[in-house]
Amino acid sequence: MSPIDSYRHLFGLTGRTYIVVAFLARMPLAMSQLGTLLLVSDDTGSYGAGGFCAGALAVANAAGAPFWGARADRLGQRRVVAVQSLSGAAGLLALLLVVNAGMPWGAAAVASAATGLLLPQIGPLARVRWRPITADTGPRQHRLVDAAFSYEGAADEASFVLGPALVGLGVSVASPTAALALAALGLAVFGTWFALHETATVTHAATSGATAAVGRLMTPALVVLCAAQVLVGSVFGSVQTGTSVLATSAGSAGATGYFHALLGVGSVLAGLAVAALPARFGLPARLRWFAVGLLVLSAPLLLVGSLPALVPVLLVLGCTVAPYMITTFTLGERVTPASRTGAAMTALAAATGLGYAIGAAAAGRLADWGGHTPAYAVTVVAGAAAVALTWTCGRVLTAAAAAHTAPTAAVD
């Protein structure tokens, strides 16, 4: 089955409305991080303060995501995601009130953290739904689930293209306040819609019967995968901060979202293409080589001195981001018991958020000291660490994948 046929079959199983709703529901999280950074930076005049608040939102989201994922495994996504969507939207509005009331930025950091704790991880929870959705597809299920994870990775990246772009548009046309207000509205509408969609009921019905046989969640393989996601999250946070500094110094602060969105353009295309990779190119091997791509393609950021020069670098760097993340999430689903998949997917997403916080905070501090180049150095260091991790821990991933894969499937 070709990738196009796989995608057509997948979308036929759910209907196009679900695909659109699930995509739009994940954009507010992508908007909230950059929106918070720009909102607080604009109010305080400090990239460090903006990066800290954006990092606080991401850290809190990372800390809360596994809890919410475990609750979704137990209670079903319908109730859990609906509560998160409505309370998360309220949290974004509360953050706007705190900042616009002129309170010290420490209060904004607290509000950011509270908001991050409530925001739902739509992308990881959407991944959980695909195996139950494809349960009646017979021998094609394995290939369809792989294609679904490729699509979800591309959808996540597309949300990080359009999310920052919408923030940039909101800043250019109105203000960071308008951008975050739009994110709150989108979460309340589409997050709740996603929560109440019938696929949530199908997923809970398929997995709730297995809750008595709960398996171990944090295996050595999943720990390695979480560490891998921390590093790619650091790439996101440091690139976003470095780009914000470069755009602001060029007098185009509102263009930050547009330029950061370039990272996702190549990532979307590469993510969709992952479904065409041959099975003999196993998941652990893919992760190792995609990590090498992160390092090699991030190095040119250290030479960038202007916004025009940044364009091709971000476009090319994006080509390795989605394949790297798709591989970690696919491996995570493979090595986790069915009854713990929600917790595993949100744990990986939490690790990404934690990495974003580390990358944004470190890059923000370095940017206050030396501008965009030191901020981008954080990106390169994260790529080097990803290479070291995936090549030294490759046997752990290979063994775990082999233990959960049919004998006829290649794993390395």
How far apart (Å, rounded) are the C-alpha atoms in residues 26 and 190? Answer: 8
Residue 370: count other Cβ atoms within 10 Å of its Cβ. 11
> Quick one: pLDDT at residue 273?
81
> In the chain, what are the domains?
3-403 (1.20.1250.20)
Tell the burial category of 271 from Cβ atoms under 10 Å away from its Cβ (0-12, 13-18, 19+).
Answer: buried
How far apart (Å, rounded) are the C-alpha atoms in residues 397 and 378? Answer: 26
> Quick one: pLDDT at residue 406?
45
Task: Write the CB contacts of 11 (distance below 8 Å, at least 6 apart in sequence).
Answer: 19
How far apart (Å, rounded) are the C-alpha atoms in residues 269 and 246? Answer: 26
**Alpha-helical regions (H) of 45-76:** 47-75
> Quick one: pLDDT at residue 405?
55
* pLDDT lower than 50: segments of the chain: 210-213, 406-412
pLDDT in tens, 124-182: 899 889 888 888 777 777 778 888 888 888 888 788 778 877 887 787 777 888 889 99
How far apart (Å, rounded) are the C-alpha atoms in residues 280 and 237? Answer: 33
Q: Find, among 257, 269, 69, the residue nearest to 169 by Cα.
A: 257
Q: In this structure, is the dihedral angle defined by the CA atoms of residues 31, 32, 37 and 40, taken in order, positive or negative?
A: positive
Question: What's the Cα-to-Cα distance from 175 to each of 68, 79, 96, 103, 171, rounded to whole Å?
Answer: 32, 34, 11, 18, 4
Q: How many Cα atoms within 13 Å fall on the side-chain side of residue 233?
A: 28
> What is the value of pTM for the model shown?
0.78
Task: Write the CB contacts of 304 (distance below 8 Å, at least 6 apart in sequence).
Answer: 246, 310, 313, 372, 373, 376
Q: Find, among 141, 151, 134, 132, the residue nearest to 409 by Cα.
A: 141
Q: Which residue has 């998360």 as its token pair?
A: 88
In single-letter form, the type of residue at position 268 comes to: V
Task: Tell me how far apart the terminal alpha carbons of the chain are, to the nearest angstrom.
Answer: 22
Residue 235: count other Cβ atoms within 10 Å of its Cβ. 27
In single-letter form, the type of residue at position 157 comes to: E
Tell me, what DSSP letter sits at residue 188?
I
Extract the tokens encoding 242. 């470095």
Q: How many Cα atoms within 13 Å fall on the side-chain side of residue 187?
A: 32
Tell me, what DSSP letter sits at residue 46?
-
How far apart (Å, rounded) are the C-alpha atoms in residues 213 and 177? Answer: 47
How far apart (Å, rounded) are the C-alpha atoms in residues 302 and 300? Answer: 5
> Quick one: pLDDT at residue 257?
67
Sequential DSSP letters for 71-119:
HHHHH-HHHHHHHHHHHHHHHHHHHHHHHHTT--HHHHHHHHHHHHHH-
> Quick one: pLDDT at residue 295?
95
How far apart (Å, rounded) are the C-alpha atoms in residues 228 and 290? Answer: 11
> Quick one: pLDDT at residue 192?
95
In single-letter form, the type of residue at position 119 comes to: L
Q: Which residue has 């959705």 as its token pair?
A: 133
How far apart (Å, rounded) are the C-alpha atoms in residues 91 and 235? Answer: 26
Task: Write the CB contacts of 259 (distance below 8 Å, at least 6 apart in sequence).
Answer: 243, 246, 247, 307, 310, 311, 314
